[in-house]
Amino acid sequence: MFSGLKKRWNVNGWRLLLILITFAVAGSATGYLGKMLMSFLGIESAWLYIIIYVVAITIIWPLMVVLVSLFFGQFNFFRGYLGRMGKRVFGKKKNPASLPLTQTHPEPGPKIVRIAIFASGTGTNAQKIIDHFRHHPFIQVSMVVSNKPAAGVLGIARKERIASMVIEKEKFFRGNAYVDELKSYQIEFIVLAGFLWKLPSRLVSAWHKRIINIHPALLPKFGGKGLYGHHVHEAVIKAGEKESGITIHYVDEIYDHGETIFQEKVLVENGDTPETLALKIQALEHAHLPKVIEQVIQSVRN
């Protein structure tokens, strides 16, 4: 049960303990104050007593939670928790195809670096990035962005209770490129993890040298428009290359062109197919991408 709560609320064991203590103390205080109030009112009618008591503790409980959370240093968590409860009770349903699904994290302090992951597919790299930064002291995956409403990566975002956004081509390329929306989430870094659209210049300039991409080949070979996924691996094998690998690079206005940050190689063996080569490349991506993201952010932060 506790492991499930840690995953659901995206907290470590120590914070979970403080949160549960806050719930317990606030609940006890609410019950005590509720009984004091009813004793003061001196209501004799049983049904009226129940109605007023329920109304009273409904009002008192969130106030006590906020007050107690201040003493245990969990105010930010409970502010977000109560806000989500309020939205569920009073808020209107939003269209998940065009608006953020869930803003799971409370407003961060100035030291938190918030990442948005852009992906078009199943999101295996996105999951590895989320896992890597789950309990990081100052780096947080705060949003998942996709250009495909049915992309598997959006399911990962829902499961992980991370905000997600589906973007539309017209607004992305001829509108504001979703710069305003990303800035409203205080996004500082963008990671392209299998995102198939070329980024518009407005987005690139807004996050200059703060957007990185991973490409499943050793750039500058086998990069450019149309060279993604299995198309890259087919091209590598057809060209008779003896090695392939991954390239992690900064993003500019040209496909697969920005400054290289990191490369790792793998042998292309006789008998390799696009499918077997893809598995080798994927292993490199999972092993290195989260670590390189962390190193880049730390270098800028320092």
In sequence order, what are the beta bridge partners of 244? Answer: 266
Buried/exposed code over 133-151 (b: 16+ C-beta within 10 A; e: otherwise): beeeeebbbbbbbbbeeeb
Give residue 101's pLDDT.
46
User: Into which CATH architecture does domain 113-301 fall?
Assistant: 3-Layer(aba) Sandwich (3.40)
Spot the catalytic one: 105, 215, 233, 249.
215
In the annotation, is 135 catalytic?
no
With pLDDT > 90 as the criterion, what percentage of the chain qualifies?
55
Under the banding of pLDDT at 50, 70 and 90, the label for residue 89 is low
Say yes or no to pLDDT of 253 above 50. yes
Give me the chain's average pLDDT, please.
85
The pLDDT score that the predictor gives to residue 7 is: 56
Residues of the chain with CATH 3.40.50.170: 113-301
Distance CA 48, CA 244 (A): 76
Q: What predicted TM-score, i.e. pTM, was given to this entire model?
A: 0.64
**pLDDT value of residue 189:** 96
Binned at pLDDT 50, 70 and 90, residue 91 comes out as low
Q: Residue 154: pLDDT band by 50, 70, 90 thresholds?
A: very high
What number of other Cβ atoms are within 10 A of residue 215's Cβ?
24
Q: How far apart are CA 154 and CA 120, in angstroms?
A: 9
Task: Give the rounded distance of the alpha carbon of 173 from its chain centre.
Answer: 23
**Sequence-distant (≥ 6) Cβ neighbours of residue 207 within 8 angstroms:** 187, 188, 189, 190
